[in-house]
Amino acid sequence: MEYFEFLNKSVTPYHTVEALKTLLETQNGENTRFFERGGALIAIRLPKQICSDSRFRIALAHTDFPTLKITPNPDSSAAGVRTLHPEIYGSPLFTSWLDRDLGYAGLLAYELGGNLETKLIRGDKLFRIPQLAVHLNRGVNQEGLKVNPQTDLNALWTSIGGKERFVDALQSELPAGARLLDFDIQLFDAQPAQFGGFENEWIYSGRLDNLSSCHAIAEAFKNAAPLEKDFTVAAFINNEEVGSETREGAGSNFLKSTLEEILSSFTSQTSERACERPLSSRLAESFALSIDMAHACHPNFVQKHESNHAPVLGGGVVLKVNSQKRYASDVFSNARFKLICEQNNIPYQTFVMRNDMPCGSTVGPAISASLGIPTVDIGEPMLSMHSIREMTDVADHEKMTRLLLAFWK
C-alpha cells in the first residue's frame, strides 16, 4: 500500500488498524504475531532464537487524531437544514474545520438474531461547517475568528426535506433485520493527501499527526528481517489525544500484557533454563522509540521557538527533550538515539520548548514509567499540527523510515 493510500484510508483509529494490518500482513510469515484491541494494534516479530539476553526493540505511535465525534443524539434543524451536534475529541484547531469537505466514518454496533455484531463504515457523502460570511462578521480579520465549540461547530448534513435522524442514515448501512445499538462515528477531512511545494517536497494531508509515524513504523517493520535474539515490536496505540488512560491507550495494560504473553508462550515451549528471565529485567535492557510529530519552526512565527532548538522542515528526525519530563528522553536514551543516527547517516535536530510556553507530551513518559524501559521521544517535524490539514516534508518521512530500519537491523 502506498503512503498516500494509507493516509486516505486511515480516517478513524479503527480504519488505521485495518490499513496497518493490510500493510503488515502482505510480507509476513508465521514468525509475526498480531494483537488487536479496538483502535490499537501490536505486531511482534519473533527473533531467530530466544535466550536469556533476548530483549525488545519497540517502536510506538498513536493511531488517533483530534476530531469531531457525532454525539448520541445529534439531531437539530434550523434555517432549512438539518445539523449534527459533535463533541470535541482531543484538541483540534477549530477554525481549520470550517469550509472543509467533511466525510464521516467509524464503527456501528448492532443486534442481529440476538447476537452483537460490529461493522466498520465510511459514508460516501460530504458534510460541511460553513463559516459566517465576512459581511456578517465585520472585524473578523482584525480580531481573529473565535469559535465556540458548543454552538459554532454543528455540521450541516442534509436539507430539511432529507432524512430526519442521522441514526436512520447509519441504520441503512446495516444488513436487513439488524438493529443499531450504538455508534462511534467521527468526521474527517475528505480531501486526499497531495504533494505540495514547487519541487513536490512537501505533503499536505489530514491526520499526519500521527499517521505519518504509524506509516514509517509499519513500512520499516514490513521490510526488516527477523533479529538474531531480539523481538521486533511495533505498537500502535489509541487515545493519545485524550490522555491515554483507556483500554486501548498507553496507560492500559495492552503492551505489557502482550509482551508477557509472547514471552511466556515462548519460554513454556523450551526446556532450557537459560531462557528463563523475567520480563521486567529484559525490559530494563530494552529500548523504545516513542514516535510522534514535532513542531517545525514556522517561517512567519520564528519567535515561537527557542532559537537554538528550532527544528525545520526537511532538517531530519527531531529529538524531543524536556526537563519537566513531558518527554521520556533522557541522557541514556538520547545518546543511544544519536549513535544510531550517526552510524547510519541520518540527520537529526533537537527540540526544546521555550520556558515561557507549556510543553506538549506524548505516550513516551507513560510507557517508559510503566514498563521501566529506556525510551526516547522523537518525531518528524511538521507545520499546522492539529489542523484538519497538516504539512510535512517528504525527506523527513524517508529519514524516519530509514532510522527505524536501522533500529531493527
50: left (phi over 0), alpha (psi -120 to 50) or beta: beta
- x/- letters, 287..316, toward Zn ion (CB under 5 A): -----x------------------------
Closer residue to Zn ion in complex, CB, 242/279: 242
Asked if residue 404 lies in contact with residue 336, where contact means CB atoms within 8 angstroms, the answer is: no
Cβ neighbours around 55 below 10 Å, total? 18
Name the nearest CA neighbour of 29 among 214, 234, 219, 225: 225
Phi, psi of 408 (to 5 degrees): -100, 25
Is the CB of 97 or the CB of 183 nearer to Zn ion? 97
With left for phi above 0 and alpha for psi between -120 and 50, is residue 197 left, alpha or beta? Answer: left
Residues with Cβ within 8 Å of 42's Cβ and at least 6 positions away in sequence, in order, are 34, 35, 36, 233, 234, 235, 236, 254, 255, 258
Q: Please choose, out of 19-27, 101-109, 201-209, 306-314, the segment that lies near Zn ion by the rule CB under 5 A.
A: 201-209
Nearest distance from C-beta of residue 385 to Zn ion, angstroms:
8
Residues 367 and 290 sit within 8 Å (Cβ to Cβ): yes
In angstroms, give the least distance from the CB of 293 to Zn ion. Answer: 5
Toward Zn ion, which CB reaches closer, 283 or 391?
Answer: 391
End-to-end CA distance of the chain: 23
Q: Does 209 bind Zn ion (CB under 5 A)?
A: yes
Q: How far is CA 160 from the centre of its chain?
A: 36
* 8 counts as binding Zn ion under rule CB under 5 A: no
Shortest Å, Cβ 206 to Zn ion: 13
* Cβ closest to Zn ion, residue 209 vs residue 248: 209
- Distance in Å, CB of 386 to Zn ion, minimum: 8
Q: Closer to Zn ion at the Cβ: 292 or 380?
A: 292
Cβ neighbors of 151 (< 8 A, separation 6 or more) are: none
Q: Of 45 and 207, which CB lies nearer to Zn ion in the complex structure? A: 207
**Rounded to the nearest whole angstrom, what is the least distance from the CB of residue 366 to Zn ion in the complex?**
13
Q: Does 219 engage in binding with Zn ion (CB under 5 A)?
A: no
Q: Is 198 exposed, middle or buried (0-12, 13-18, 19+ CB in 10 A)?
A: exposed
Provide the 8-state DSSP code for 176: T
Interface residue with Zn ion among 12, 16, 210, 401 (CB under 5 A) is: 210
Cα–Cα–Cα angle for 287, 219, 267, rounded to 5 degrees:
45
Of 209 and 390, the one with the shorter C-beta distance to Zn ion is 209
Which residues contact Zn ion (rule: CB under 5 A)? 209-210, 292
